[in-house]
């Protein structure tokens, strides 16, 4: 195969639908919250994009955003090799909001001073408002905002005034009203900041004068038009997993190009109980979207036989998936395009645009790699079509509902690509897979019966590679323990273990021990993320 995939767009190539001529830009200085800022803006139905802090004033002028937001960041603005933005940005005449590091950078570049604070401020703080106009309109005095800083502004630039303070921070919010430059020392984008969304709305609507044009209907209309224009009369191949991303993509593409779309479902044997059968029946019988069901369970199980290292498991499963995919696509092809359910967080976190040109290190820490971005072989013979690559997960769910995707798929809990293989700690065997499938089914069945499925971000079972002593029917048993993992989260970036009723835990434990052969003990994982991760491997 010689024809290579087209390169993925970088963060410097924003997607701006024809139906949407308004946007806000977030310049990323390495904050883990940059994506969250973008999401909060989109919740106001205004389009936003995250770009590198190295984006020049001239590039921004060409994009013509209604407003610019400078994100937080892990460094001090006065530190050596600290990331700085183009100082010409302050002269563009475009409203700017600096958040935490972004505020301090604004102050420093415009002639003020930032120093190490006598007392840092972390966590909740009451905001005491000095000027309730513009940025702080309708933000209640004394409202809680979330602080996270060890530096503070000690001297404001000429033309700036204080909008608000806290007990420990004299300059908690500042502004140059004439030039429409604003800064806040706290993080309005996080859920802990009670007046944060009101502040963001003030900046978006009143200061930047945006209108709510970023809607689900507008996106669907433009995405269909864009796919038709890009693909023409060529064929498109989609690897269907049954999750909300690939299912929404299948629906969207089928609406756009009909029979030019071919869906392939590779059953590697690590799916949950009854899911492959339900997926095929749903798509083929109810939605009339043909799916080629590739049964490759034996190949995958042989590939991971005896492997206990979690990363090696992932690697082998990923490589085998590519091999099966290539073989089957040759049989079904030829195809010109490969469709992927890449989402915007994948694009942001996998981009190379946040590498500091002076030091060579990434400004933001990359927590994990993403299978949809950069994970394909270089000689794969497709061009890429990725209509969802500018959407967050919650936006994908809205699109799915709007185009007729069933609730059971739209609200489906996130499920890892390697499936149950990384919920079995240690070696994967047919026996262990069967035990875990049955235990996991009980978890899902019970929370569905009690109508609390949507109360959790994820709820599943984990099988440990040890055996424990038990007693059943007056006889000694030596069987596996099952770990229950039920967590709450907004976006999966952080998560907390769910405080479920003891009655539910009792029911789950009783059912699993009585109904699943090979299990004699059930335990509950009460670890949050961080320090743990949601998945065990």
The reported pLDDT for the residue numbered 18 is 44
CA distance 262 to 249: 12
CA distance 353 to 240: 30
Please, where are the H alpha helices in 85-215? 101-109, 196-201
CA distance 336 to 5: 10
Name the nearest CA neighbour of 22 among 209, 221, 218, 220. 209
> In the numeric block, which tokens belong to residue 491?
């976006």
CA distance 464 to 426: 8
> Alpha-carbon Rg of the chain, whole angstroms?
26
* Residue in 100, 171, 210, 263 annotated catalytic: 100
* Residue in 35, 49, 189, 275 annotated catalytic: 189
CA distance 318 to 466: 27
The reported pLDDT for the residue numbered 489 is 87
Report the sign of the C-alpha dihedral through residues 368, 148, 39, 529, in that order: positive
10 Å Cβ neighbour count for 11? 17
Q: Is 100 a catalytic residue?
A: yes
Q: Is 187 a catalytic residue?
A: yes
Name the nearest CA neighbour of 247 among 214, 215, 278, 216. 278
> In the numeric block, which tokens belong to residue 271?
């799916």
The stretches in the chain having pLDDT less than 70 are: 1-21, 118-121, 348-381, 474, 491, 493
* Residue in 149, 165, 187, 254 annotated catalytic: 187
The reported pLDDT for the residue numbered 379 is 59
Name the nearest CA neighbour of 37 among 1, 77, 69. 69
Contact (CB, 8 A) for 6 and 384: yes
Question: For the whole prediction, is pTM greater than 0.95?
Answer: no
Q: Is 293 a catalytic residue?
A: no
CA distance 148 to 152: 11
For 336-405, list the strands marked E by DSSP.
Answer: 337-339, 383-385
């Amino acid at each position: 195969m010689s024809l290579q995939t087209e390169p993925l767009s970088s963060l410097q190539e924003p997607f701006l639908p024809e139906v949407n001529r308004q946007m806000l830009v977030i310049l990323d200085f390495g904050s883990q919250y940059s994506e969250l800022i973008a999401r909060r803006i989109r919740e106001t139905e205004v389009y936003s994009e995250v770009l590198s802090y190295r984006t020049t004033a001239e590039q921004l002028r060409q994009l013509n955003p209604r407003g610019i937001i400078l994100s937080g960041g892990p460094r001090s603005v006065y530190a050596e090799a600290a990331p700085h933005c183009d100082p010409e940005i302050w002269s563009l005449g475009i409203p700017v909001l600096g958040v935490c590091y972004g505020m301090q950078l604004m102050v420093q570049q415009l002639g003020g001073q930032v120093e190490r604070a006598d007392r840092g401020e972390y966590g909740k703080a009451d905001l005491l408002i000095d000027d309730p106009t513009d940025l702080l309109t309708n933000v209640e005095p004394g409202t809680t905002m979330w602080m996270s800083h060890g530096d503070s502004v000690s001297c404001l630039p000429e033309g700036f005034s204080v909008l608000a303070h806290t007990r420990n921070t004299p300059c908690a919010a500042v502004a140059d009203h004439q030039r429409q430059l604003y800064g806040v020392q706290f993080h309005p984008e996080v859920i802990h900041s009670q007046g944060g969304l009101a502040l963001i709305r003030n900046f978006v609507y009143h200061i930047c004068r945006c209108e709510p044009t970023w809607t689900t209907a507008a996106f669907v209309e433009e995405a269909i038009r864009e796919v038709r224009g890009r693909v023409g009369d060529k064929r498109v191949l989609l690897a269907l997993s049954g999750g909300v991303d690939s299912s929404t993509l299948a629906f969207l593409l089928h609406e756009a190009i009909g029979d030019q779309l071919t869906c392939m479902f590779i059953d590697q044997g690590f799916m949950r109980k009854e899911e492959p059968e339900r997926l095929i029946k749903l798509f083929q019988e109810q939605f009339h979207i043909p799916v080629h069901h590739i049964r490759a369970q034996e190949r995958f199980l042989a590939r991971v036989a005896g492997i206990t290292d979690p990363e090696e498991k992932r690697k082998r499963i990923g490589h085998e998936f590519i091999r099966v995919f290539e073989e089957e696509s040759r049989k079904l092809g030829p195809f010109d395009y490969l469709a992927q359910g890449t989402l915007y967080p994948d694009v942001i976190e996998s981009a190379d645009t946040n590498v500091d040109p002076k030091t060579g290190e990434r400004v933001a820490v990359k927590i994990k790699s993403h299978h949809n971005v950069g994970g394909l072989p270089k000689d794969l013979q497709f061009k890429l079509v990725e209509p969802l690559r500018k959407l967050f997960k919650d936006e994908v769910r809205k699109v799915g509902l709007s185009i007729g995707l069933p609730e059971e798929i739209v609200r489906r809990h996130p499920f890892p690509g390697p499936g149950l293989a990384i919920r079995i700690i240690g070696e994967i065997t047919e026996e262990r897979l069967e035990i875990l499938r049955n235990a996991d089914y009980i978890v899902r069945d019970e929370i569905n019966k009690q109508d609390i499925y949507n109360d959790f971000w994820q709820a599943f079972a984990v099988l440990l590679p040890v055996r424990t002593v038990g007693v059943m029917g007056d006889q000694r048993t030596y069987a596996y323990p099952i770990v229950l993992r039920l967590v709450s989260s907004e976006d999966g970036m952080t998560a907390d273990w769910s405080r479920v009723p003891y009655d539910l835990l009792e029911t789950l434990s009783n059912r699993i021990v009585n109904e699943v052969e090979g299990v004699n003990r059930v335990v509950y994982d009460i670890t949050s993320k961080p320090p743990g991760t949601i998945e065990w491997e």
